[in-house]
């Protein structure tokens, strides 16, 4: 019987990304006693060193276990880590290992992961572009960048038009944001969906002002319109606007997710598969969402392994809606990591038919980009979570 013999985290990094956070990634290699290798990816988010350490802690428990026993393995970690239900580091480390185990399972059986999760619900996965508006400040900047997006065939695009405003927004700031949204809408027309990123940074009063402005431009959704912990503010927001709400990237358990579903606070659930528990828990959360008639739109702002993981689940979910995609704005080294393995054509990715995750990892690229002591920088100029060069009004 196959056993896990090693779990290795690699912190990778290189300049050339549209966002500071995306210049790093942590990949996790799981190897079995019969020589099969599975890959996962986990979050860095100002926690790169801590995440590497946490993966190594998970490894101490998982080496020697059967990679097919994903439920038992998850429960063993849950038993061991007293803080697993409230720790991003804990849930994200286990997410990467879980994904790598599913990769191993698929490769062992010679089938793509989606065939093990219910089969194919679709052959093409609708995606939306993100990361495309680096250094956009003026309305004209946004319009010119949007032209390039639609020239690639995308049917939807997401962007944050709110510049440096946090918690509150001034009248001038709201006017600047509207100019940016208007310019993009006029450029792409009514047949392209706009998705408006708020990054969970506004109080209720500011979010409502923004919502009343955005309603005129018919966005597909407003993402994280209020601070993520402000349940009361989001509840009031839901009653005061017709906008659809997307959220979920900061949720790390299915129980947390259930709170938002029961309160009817979300229309598009953006669970992140490398935070919520990997494929094992991601499938369960998607089923919960389906029972509340909520669409899935997985968060995916990092690397190509997470991208392939998301596409495997997207292929099989009955309540899939749209997938976040940085693919055409990945730095070159991230594309080379998987041999350009999940291309976007005319606004769609294709179901991946190769075994496991269906991507081939170039370990030469892994070795060439290892950071021995890397960590995300903290800048006084703009938070690391924004697309570069956009934290200003002019």
Residue 267 DSSP one-character state: S
| Distance (Å) of CA 324 to CA 21, 51, 158 | 16, 23, 8
Cα angle 230, 158, 155; round to 5: 140
User: Which tokens hold the place of 226?
Assistant: 């209020």
State both tokens at 340: 């350009």
CA dist 353 and 168 (Å) reads: 47
Which SS3 state, helix, strand or coil, does residue 387 take? strand
Q: Are 285 and 271 in contact (CB under 8 A)?
A: yes
For residues 280 and 98, is the Cβ–Cβ distance under 8 A?
yes
Q: Is the CB of residue 308 less than 8 Å from the CB of residue 344?
A: no
Dihedral (Cα; 349, 275, 22, 150), 10-degree rounding: 30
Closest CA to 46 of 23, 26, 21: 21
Instruction: At 360, list the tokens.
Output: 């081939």
Catalytic residue flag (residue 339): no
Q: Which residues are registered as beta bridge partners of 328?
A: none
- What are the distances in angstroms from CA 15 to CA 23, 108, 247, 250, 374? 6, 36, 29, 26, 12
Which of 198, 199, 302, 339 does the annotation list as catalytic?
199
Residue in the structure block whose two tokens are 């409502």: 208
What proportions of the chain, in percent to the nearest 5, are helix, strand and coil?
Answer: 40, 15, 40
Q: Give catalytic status of residue 199 as yes or no.
A: yes
| Options 165, 227, 299, 302, the catalytic residue | 299
Phi–psi pair at 324, nearest 5 degrees: -65, 140
Return the SS3 of 371: coil
Question: How far apart are the C-alpha atoms of 391 and 122, rounded to whole Å?
Answer: 38
In the 8-state DSSP scheme, what is residue 64? Answer: T
Residues identified as active-site: 199, 299
């Amino acid at each position: 019987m196959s056993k896990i013999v090693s779990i290795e985290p690699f912190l990778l990094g290189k300049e050339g990304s549209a966002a500071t956070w995306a210049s790093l990634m942590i990949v996790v290699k799981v190897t079995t006693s019969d020589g099969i290798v599975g890959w996962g990816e986990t979050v860095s988010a100002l926690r790169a060193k801590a995440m590497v350490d946490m993966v190594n802690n998970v490894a101490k428990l998982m080496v020697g276990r059967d990679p097919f026993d994903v439920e038992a393995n998850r429960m063993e970690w849950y038993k061991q880590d007293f803080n697993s239900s409230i720790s991003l580091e804990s849930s994200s480390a286990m997410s990467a290992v879980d994904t790598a185990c599913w990769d191993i399972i698929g490769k062992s059986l010679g089938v793509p992961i989606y065939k093990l999760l219910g089969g194919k619900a679709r052959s093409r996965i609708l995606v939306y572009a993100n990361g495309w508006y680096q250094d956009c400040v003026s309305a004209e900047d946004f319009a010119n960048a949007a032209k390039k997006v639609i020239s690639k065939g995308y049917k939807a695009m997401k962007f944050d038009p709110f510049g440096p405003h946090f918690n509150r927004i001034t009248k001038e700031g709201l006017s600047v944001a509207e100019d940016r949204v208007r310019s993009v809408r006029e450029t792409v027309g009514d047949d392209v969906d706009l998705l408006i990123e708020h990054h969970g940074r506004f109080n209720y009063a500011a979010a409502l002002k923004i919502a009343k402005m955005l309603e005129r431009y018919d966005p597909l959704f407003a993402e994280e319109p209020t601070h993520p912990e402000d349940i009361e503010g989001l509840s009031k927001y839901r009653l005061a606007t017709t906008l659809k709400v997307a959220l979920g990237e900061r949720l790390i358990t299915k129980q947390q997710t259930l709170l938002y579903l029961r309160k009817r606070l979300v229309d598009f659930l953006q669970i992140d598969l490398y935070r919520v528990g990997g494929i094992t828990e991601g499938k369960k959360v998607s089923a919960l969402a389906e029972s509340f008639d909520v669409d899935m739109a997985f968060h995916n702002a990092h690397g190509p392994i997470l991208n392939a993981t998301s596409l495997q689940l997207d292929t099989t979910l009955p309540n899939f809606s749209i997938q976040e995609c940085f693919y055409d704005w990945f730095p070159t080294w991230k594309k080379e990591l998987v041999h350009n393995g999940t291309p976007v054509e005319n606004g769609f990715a294709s179901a991946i038919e190769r075994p496991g995750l269906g991507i081939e990892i170039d370990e030469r690229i892994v070795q060439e980009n290892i950071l021995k002591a890397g960590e995300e920088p903290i800048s006084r100029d703009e938070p690391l979570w924004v697309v570069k060069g956009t934290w200003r009004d002019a």
